[in-house]
Amino acid sequence: MARLQARFDRIFSIRTCYGDLDKLLFRPRRRKAELLRVLERPETPLHTNASERDLRGLVIK
């Protein structure tokens, strides 16, 4: 877990000479705890596709 957190920090701390790219790289850093929550709780789903699929029939009707 520590290695992945360090890798996350290394990737999203990169500074480029492109302002727009730097802004995009900054956004995930603000949400680091939320994005890496799966490392603490592996049972947390990475997406909600199953829930959305279950509700799709009700929404269409």
**Assessment of whether the complete model's pTM goes beyond 0.75:** no
Domain count across the chain: 1
How far CA 37 is from CA of 7, 17, 19, 31, 44, in Å, comes to 15, 31, 28, 10, 8
What is the signed CA dihedral for 51, 53, 54, 58, rounded to 10 degrees? 120
Evaluate if residue 61 carries a pLDDT over 80: no
Domain that holds residue 42: 2-60
Q: CB under 8 Å to 44, separation ≥6 — which residues? A: 37, 38
pLDDT per residue as tens digits for the range 5-45: 999 999 999 899 999 999 998 989 998 988 888 888 888 77
The pLDDT value recorded for residue 45 is 73
